[in-house]
């Protein structure tokens, strides 16, 4: 008797059956070693770093002034709506892949592909940006010990030539060079790659140590810095709007919103928590807890640091590369600068670690579904039980881009992918609640219609307020993603093989 095969669904809106996720969890070769607080630590590890140690200077100096605290509130609120929706999804589908996996089972393949494609932008370019920031703080540490490395070894080719030209214009003799690369950024990415290949337990242990140190230093910055706050620096708290030559408004309410869009890059850590569900001991309960806990803890710390920072020095005097360390240096607290600089290096290292970790787990989820080559992205190391091939590939790409590319605007491009993914998830969890009302939900988002609506609106509004060239770059990235989907992913999707 012949077995009648189920006809293949060729629609781009076809969905992965929820039963297939359960099969994936049973077949998973990843080690389940992460506890509730281990997951929370990973979230804090991703969130605290670039936001506090780097983006605070840019956002306050150029866009919000002392009202940067309100930008963090706005970004935190937008994140909270998304985090509550993420938490419900994570309790239903505790698998690696994050927003990509959630949307594949609820909305459809093309929707999931676009989210996965944007998560590549979010994590890989985010890790690249952080690697360059790490190099900046490392250079500052060398200067503290009166070591002056050559420009061509500390900067990408474009930035190196710009710095050399500026120094020559100031009368400083700078040797000619034909080659330049950001060597510290290149090397730190390779170190993080090695840790990730070795295993999630080792990565989590490394991250836990760094998180304890940098949270202690952030609290130190808040407590010690509070004694040097001059409230006159907060006036006016909301500077008068200024329109630049490109028609972009700085300061005022629009400036606060733009700053919130920029610092949003700092909040993607809670998304990284959900990518680790495949390695959590009790994912249905612990992942929702870790998502919300890491977001709340970090938002409070961000607001307090931004108030202290803009109170210590006038916002127009904030250093763009190392604002926290420079603020303490301006007050003559040289001993504190050593502590902050070393903590920033550790903090940025853990951000890189969690971002690259999240990227490889998103790749793993997509490869298991056939949307990208499984032989490369789903290969698990027989001893370390990590997706080693994709980890090495990500490490090579990030290290080369960080070494050779000027990345002054990449944080905004990273934010655009994050904002769209968050808005999509808010809509997808609401859709699933309507379609599958009887599904077991260990965690249920309260007043979901309101939370989901606010999440969609808040995230799309922040995305709308990004700079025009950032939005154009983002559209180009999405267009490339659609080409890849229709030329490779659609025909190789495992949904084309219902018998399997």
247: DSSP letter:
S
Residue 322 and residue 56: Cα distance in Å, rounded? 9
| CA neighbours closer than 13 Å in the CB half-sphere of residue 104 | 30
Q: Is residue 477 part of a domain?
A: yes
- Give residue 372's pLDDT band: very low, low, confident or very high (50, 70, 90): very high
Q: What is the pLDDT of residue 298?
A: 86
Q: Is residue 396 part of a domain?
A: yes
pTM over 0.75: yes
Residue 243 and residue 285: Cα distance in Å, rounded? 48
pLDDT at 275 over 70: no
How many residues appear in the chain?
Answer: 500
Neighbouring CB atoms inside 10 A of 55's CB total 26
Residue 354 and residue 364: Cα distance in Å, rounded? 15
3-class secondary-structure state, position 182: strand
Cis peptide before 236 (omega within 30 of 0): yes
- CA 265-38-367 angle, 5° bins: 65
Residue-wise pLDDT for 287-329, tens only, equals 788 888 888 888 899 899 999 999 999 998 888 767 888 889 8
- Give residue 1's pLDDT band: very low, low, confident or very high (50, 70, 90): very low
Q: Is residue 8 part of a domain?
A: no
3-class secondary-structure state, position 491: helix
Q: Is residue 13 part of a domain?
A: no
3-class secondary-structure state, position 249: strand
Q: Closest Cα partner for 347 from 34, 56, 67, 60?
A: 56
CB within 8 Å of 169: residues ≥ 6 apart: none
CATH number, domain of 312, equals 1.20.1740.10
Q: What is the pLDDT of residue 419?
A: 83
Q: For 249, phi and psi rounded to 5 degrees?
A: -85, 130
Distance (Å) of CA 296 to CA 41, 68, 84, 257, 282:
13, 18, 12, 20, 21
Q: What tokens appear for 131 in the block?
A: 């690697």
DSSP letters, 77-94, are: HHHHHHHHHHHHHHHH--
Q: Is residue 7 part of a domain?
A: no
Q: Is residue 445 part of a domain?
A: yes
**R_g (Cα) of the chain, nearest Å:** 23
Q: Are 389 and 376 in contact (CB under 8 A)?
A: yes
Q: Is residue 27 part of a domain?
A: no
Mean pLDDT, residues 390-401:
94
Q: What is the pLDDT of residue 166?
A: 87
Q: What is the pLDDT of residue 142?
A: 92
459: DSSP letter:
H
Q: Are strands 249-250 and 242-243 parallel, antiparallel or unpaired?
A: antiparallel
316: DSSP letter:
G
Q: For 201, phi and psi rounded to 5 degrees?
A: -65, -45
Q: What is the pLDDT of residue 2?
A: 47
Q: Are 211 and 44 in contact (CB under 8 A)?
A: yes
Q: What is the pLDDT of residue 29?
A: 62
Q: What is the pLDDT of residue 190?
A: 95
Residue-wise pLDDT for 100-149, tens only, equals 877 887 788 998 999 889 888 878 888 888 898 899 889 988 988 899 99
Domain limits at 299? 33-494
Residue-wise pLDDT for 180-235, tens only, equals 999 999 999 999 999 888 876 666 666 677 778 878 888 999 999 999 999 999 98
Helix, strand, coil fractions of the chain, as percent rounded to 5:
75, 0, 25
- Give residue 264's pLDDT band: very low, low, confident or very high (50, 70, 90): confident
From 84-98, 368-382, 423-437, the region with the lowest mean pLDDT:
84-98
Longest Cα separation, the chain: 89
As for how many domains the chain has, the answer is 1
Question: In a 10 Å sphere around its CB, with 0-12 CB exposed, 13-18 middle and 19+ buried, how is residue 373 labelled?
Answer: middle
Q: Is residue 59 part of a domain?
A: yes
Q: For 204, phi and psi rounded to 5 degrees?
A: -65, -40
Residue-wise pLDDT for 324-337, tens only, equals 888 898 898 888 98
pLDDT at 3 over 60: no
Name beta bridge partners: 182.
Answer: 154
Helices (H) and strands (E) in the chain, counts: 23, 2
Mean pLDDT score of the chain = 84
Residue 496 and residue 489: Cα distance in Å, rounded? 11
């Amino acid at each position: 008797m012949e077995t009648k095969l189920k006809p293949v669904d060729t629609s781009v809106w076809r969905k992965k059956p929820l039963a297939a996720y359960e099969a994936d969890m049973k077949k998973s070769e990843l080690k389940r070693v992460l506890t509730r607080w281990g997951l929370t630590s990973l979230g804090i590890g991703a969130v605290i770093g670039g936001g506090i140690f780097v983006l605070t200077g840019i956002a306050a100096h150029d866009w919000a002034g002392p009202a940067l605290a309100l930008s963090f509130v706005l970004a935190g609120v937008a994140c909270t709506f998304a985090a509550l929706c993420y938490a419900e999804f994570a309790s239903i589908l505790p698998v690696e892949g994050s927003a990509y996996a959630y949307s594949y089972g609820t909305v459809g393949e093309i929707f999931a592909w676009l989210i996965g494609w944007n998560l590549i932008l979010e994590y890989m370019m985010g890790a690249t940006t952080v690697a360059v920031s790490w190099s900046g703080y490392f250079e500052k540490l060398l200067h503290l010990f009166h070591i002056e490395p050559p420009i061509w070894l500390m900067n990408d080719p474009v930035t190196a030539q710009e710095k050399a030209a500026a120094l020559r214009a100031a009368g400083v003799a700078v040797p000619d060079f034909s080659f330049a690369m950001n060597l510290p950024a290149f090397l730190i990415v390779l170190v993080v790659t090695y840790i990730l290949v070795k295993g999630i337990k080792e990565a989590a242990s490394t991250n836990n140590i760094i998180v304890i140190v940098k949270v202690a230093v952030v609290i130190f910055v808040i407590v010690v810095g509070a004694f040097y706050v001059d409230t006159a620096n907060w006036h006016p708290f909301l500077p008068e709007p200024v329109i630049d030559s490109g028609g972009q408004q700085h300061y005022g309410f629009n400036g606060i919103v733009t700053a919130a869009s920029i610092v949003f890059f700092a909040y993607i850590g809670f998304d990284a928590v959900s990518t680790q569900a495949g390695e959590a001991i009790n994912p249905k309960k612990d992942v929702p807890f870790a998502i919300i806990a890491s977001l709340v803890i970090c938002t409070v710390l961000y607001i307090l640091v931004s108030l202290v920072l803009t109170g210590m020095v006038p916002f127009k005097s904030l250093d763009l590369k190392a604002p926290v360390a420079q603020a303490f240096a301006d007050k003559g607290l040289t001993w504190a600068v050593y502590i902050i600089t070393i903590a920033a290096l550790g903090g940025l290292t853990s951000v890189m670690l969690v971002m690259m970790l999240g990227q490889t787990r998103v790749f793993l989820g997509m490869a298991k579904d056939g949307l990208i080559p499984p032989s490369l992205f789903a290969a698990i190391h027989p001893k370390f039980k990590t997706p080693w091939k994709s980890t090495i590939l990500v490490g090579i790409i990030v290290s080369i881009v960080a070494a050779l590319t000027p990345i002054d605007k990449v944080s905004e491009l990273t934010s655009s992918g994050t904002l769209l993914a968050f808005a999509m998830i808010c809509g997808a969890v609401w859709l699933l609640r309507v379609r599958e009302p009887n599904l077991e939900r260990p965690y249920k988002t309260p007043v979901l219609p309101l939370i989901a609506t606010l999440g969609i609106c808040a995230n799309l509004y922040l995305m709308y307020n990004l700079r025009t060239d950032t939005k154009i770059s983002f559209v180009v990235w999405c267009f490339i993603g659609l080409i890849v989907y229709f030329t490779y992913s659609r025909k190789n999707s495992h949904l084309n093989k219902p018998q399997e």
